[in-house]
Homo-oligomer: A and B are copies of this chain.
Amino acid sequence: MASSKSYKEFEKLMKEIVILNGIGGKIMWDQETYMPKAGMETASEQMALIDSQVHKIITSRKMGRLIEELEREYKNLDEYQRANLREMKWRRERDIKVPPKLIKEMSKASVKGYEVWKKAKKRSDFSYFEPQLKKIIDLDIKYAKYIDPDRNSYEVLIEDYEPFIGIREIKKIFADLGRGIVPLLKKIEESDVDFKKDFLKRKYSKEKQFEFCKYIVREMGYDFGRGRLDETVHPFTMGISPFDVRITIEFDEHDPTKSIFSAIHEGGHGIYGQGLPKDHMFELVGLSRSLGVHESQSRLYENNIGRSKEFWEHFFPKLKKTFPKQLRRYDVEDFHKIVNEVKRTPIRIYADELTYNLHILVRFEIENEVINKKIEVREIPELWSEKMEEYLGIKPKNDREGALQDVHWSNGMGYFPTYTIGSVLAAQIFEKLRDVMHIEDKIRNGEFQGVKRWLNENIHQKGSLYETGELIKRATGKKLSAKDFLKYVKRKYGEIYGI
């Protein structure tokens, strides 16, 4: 389709935004991997300039005029062009409503918040973090009110990470998850299945773990010609363009499952990033849909695929060959059980696949109440304890393993739900894959191309063409719900725990 003059101008600005995004990604990747310590200040100045340039383009008068012009010629636009227009409008409306001064205040509060949080966590003293957290949350609320004074502010905050899914839908999912997981967890606890775990006492060289992780993600379909794998304290994936998507993993010399599962998880993110539509790489429609959708890809690979029996039927022999001494006494059954052990822990990042969402549920409910001023910030630790007791039957011993455990709130609220959206969507996609192909057989045979191809076609290649709900509907035939997740965990843990 021939593009109008307005569209061409629009396209040019959009390309600048996307390239600046990619540059920002590179700066952040560098910061987490190889940047010299003292380079932080320079990097912050660089990021601030990139952000302000993106903001300037999006909020420019020219962009406003172009959007108006394109709306008038809407009927002449193809679906990709329309999606670009929708995404740009969405960003512009938010960016233009919020005063830059507030953004700066938020960013400052977050930098300070991070420092204060670190100290508070070290002291295990929530009251030390409280005043700064209150400030951060007040700014969050102010921000949300600028965007839409008439809507639930928490919904508005979530949208920064997960647009186009309403809070009512998310609430329903969490409620269903709570109702489904809590009784299942009780049953699991009553079972007397045994787990061998002395393999954790042995030593696993970093070099060999590294090699094995590279092997496993390559087998999954992650392309090293367009990516790389490095070590960081906190694993992450940085998509700079479909031709440059880098993953990082963590290591524990006494527990190889840390590096392995962080590799499989980030590998899933990486395959998404590498699968985005190349023909639209400099357009908003070419970017990944949302954090929730991103997380669905990593969790699909990490949990639904990567913690399946079939996966280890394929990979365990190779793992045993890599660490023959350390794993001498283990077979596939043992290993499969170990990587699926369910246990109550106060700490989210140590949680298993099943209880993980209860940890998120606790955070979701607290965020919702705080943002909507149902409780005061100082009441968080108490509410945290109550909810942990209610859902997980466990109470944090102190603030450090309670409300201070996560870094997220130092940057504001609204992020956590994306984790659970990811889990739930992953299960939904996994059920679909069971329908359309013999996914278990494929996994057992190490044939991962079919899965990747399906995901490429139905999720990755779509980029941001559809709003999240539409994307999910088209890919899985259903709307987002907790149903498939509950079905999946009942089946899975039923087998493992014999219940």
Contacts and interface: CB of A to CB of B under 8 A. Distances in A.
A224 B39 CA distance: 11
Nearest to A37: B225
B228 A34 contact: yes
Contacts of A147: none
A495 interface: no
A490 interface: no
Interface residues of A, number: 38
Contact of A38 (B27, B40, B49, B226): B226
Interface in A183-199: none
Interface in A11-31: 16, 19-20, 22-23, 26-27, 30
Interface in A37-56: 37-43, 45-46, 49-50, 53
A38 B228 contact: no
Chain A interface, DSSP helix/strand/loop, else mixed: helix
B26 A225 contact: no
A216 B357 CA distance: 52
Contacts of A42: 22, 240-241, 243-244, 281
A65 to B, nearest CB: 20
A246 interface: yes
Interface string A223-237: 111111010000000
Count of this chain's copies in the oligomeric assembly: 2
A282 interface: yes
A111 interface: no
Contacts of A34: 33-34, 228, 230
A35 interface: yes
A36 interface: yes
A36 B241 contact: no
Interface string A331-344: 00000000000000
A30 B36 contact: no
Given A36-B244, A36-B246, A49 B226 contact: no
A221 to B, nearest CB: 15
B225 A36 contact: yes
A284 to B, nearest CB: 16
Interface string A272-308: 0000000001100000000000000000000000000
A295 B33 CA distance: 29
A43 B36 CA distance: 21
A14 to B, nearest CB: 13
Interface string A313-339: 000000000000000000000000000
A27 B20 CA distance: 12
The residue in A37, A53, A281 that gathers the most chain B C-beta atoms within 10 A of its C-beta is A37
A45 B228 contact: no
A36 B282 contact: no
Nearest to A227: B36
A49 B246 contact: no
B46 A226 contact: no
B19 A23 contact: no
Contacts of A26: 26-27, 30, 46
Contacts of A40: 243
Contact of A49 (B16, B49, B225): B16
Contacts of A281: 42
A452 to B, nearest CB: 17
B35 A244 contact: yes
Interface string A200-228: 00000000000000000000000111111
Given A38-B244, A39-B226, A46 B30 contact: no
Nearest to A19: B49
Nearest to A230: B34
A26 B43 CA distance: 10
A281 to B, nearest CB: 8
19 contacts: A19-B49, A22-B46, A23-B23, A23-B27, A26-B27, A26-B30, A26-B46, A34-B34, A36-B246, A37-B226, A38-B225, A38-B226, A38-B243, A39-B226, A39-B244, A40-B243, A42-B244, A42-B281, A45-B282
A-B pairs with the 8 shortest C-beta distances?
A39-B244, A42-B241, A38-B226, A38-B243, A19-B49, A38-B225, A23-B46, A42-B244
Given A23-B23, A26-B46, A43-B244, 9 more contacts: A23-B46, A35-B244, A36-B228, A37-B226, A38-B225, A38-B243, A39-B243, A39-B244, A42-B244
